[in-house]
Amino acid sequence: MKLFQLKIELAGSRPKIWRRFIVSSDNLLSDLHKIIQSVMGWSNSHLHQFIKDETFYSVRMKDDTFWDDSNNVDYKKLKISDLIQKEQDQVEYEYDFGDSWIHNIILEKVLKAETQTVYPVCIAGKMNCPPEDCGGIWGYANILKILKKTDHPEYLSLSEWLGEEFDPQYFSTDEINQRLKRRNFGL
């Protein structure tokens, strides 16, 4: 079994929001979607697609009248290795077509499985995932700007909306790996 060490970065984020994780090359793209949701911290409440060479890979929705007008592929039976195979191959992942969170995914290394390790596993990363429905990368940049100024007129309402526990710097591989275990992707 081949394993892929992937790095995913949230495009346009400053400071950079990223994760490094290891998955089976045989995982389906539908599993990769769920793995990304877990490692990034999204809530899986919006549509998504993978993009490679101007082709859009997603789940075909029943009654989608525009499907045939675009370069769309139903990814239900496709594996990660159908889109990326060798080191430095890349694919994009878009989550939430309204906020348009674009993620760049790069295949950093092809590895052999270690028998003691359960995959997928997150091995590194930086920064917290932005909150859902905050207006995309530009809305999140504005939130970070407001949070730095306690005297800003929107600071109080924004702090209440985010909740006291939101820390843009926070990152924990342990918490991410617990989420991955609960989703039961283990090989």
Per-residue pLDDT tens digits for 73-97? 889 999 999 999 999 999 999 999 9
Q: What is the CATH number of the domain that holds 79?
A: 3.10.290.30
Which of 163 and 82 is assigned the larger pLDDT? Answer: 82
The answer for residues whose C-beta is within 8 angstroms of residue 5's C-beta and 6 or more apart is 20, 21, 22, 107, 108, 109, 110, 111, 123
Q: Does 61 have pLDDT greater than 80? A: no
Q: Which two tokens stand for residue 69?
A: 């007008």
For the chain, the C-alpha Rg in angstroms (whole number) is 17
Say if CB 19 and CB 179 are below 8 A apart. Answer: no
Q: What per-residue confidence (pLDDT) applies to 68?
A: 62
Does residue 141 sit within a domain? no
Distance CA 91, CA 89 (A): 7
> Left, alpha or beta for 29 (phi > 0: left; psi -120 to 50: alpha)?
alpha
Does residue 36 sit within a domain? yes
Does residue 15 sit within a domain? yes
What mean pLDDT comes out for the span 56-66?
Answer: 76
CA nearest 173: which of 128, 130, 125, 129?
125
Q: Provide the domain count of the chain.
A: 1
What mean pLDDT comes out for the span 60-68?
Answer: 65
The answer for residues whose C-beta is within 8 angstroms of residue 4's C-beta and 6 or more apart is 22, 23, 24, 25, 80, 81, 84, 107, 109, 110, 111
The answer for residues whose C-beta is within 8 angstroms of residue 155's C-beta and 6 or more apart is 146, 147, 149
**pLDDT category of residue 66 using cuts at 50, 70 and 90:** low
Does residue 14 sit within a domain? yes
Does residue 95 sit within a domain? yes
Output the pTM of the full model: 0.92
Give residue 159's identity as a one-letter amino acid code.
Answer: S
Does residue 117 sit within a domain? yes
Does residue 61 sit within a domain? yes
Strand 18-24 versus strand 48-52 pairing type: unpaired
- Token pair 């060479």 is at which residue? 53
Task: Determine the structural domain holding residue 56 and report its residue range.
Answer: 2-130+169-183
**Residue length of the chain:** 187
Say if CB 107 and CB 87 are below 8 A apart. Answer: yes
What mean pLDDT comes out for the span 133-148?
Answer: 95
Residue 122's φ and ψ, nearest 5 degrees, are -90, 130
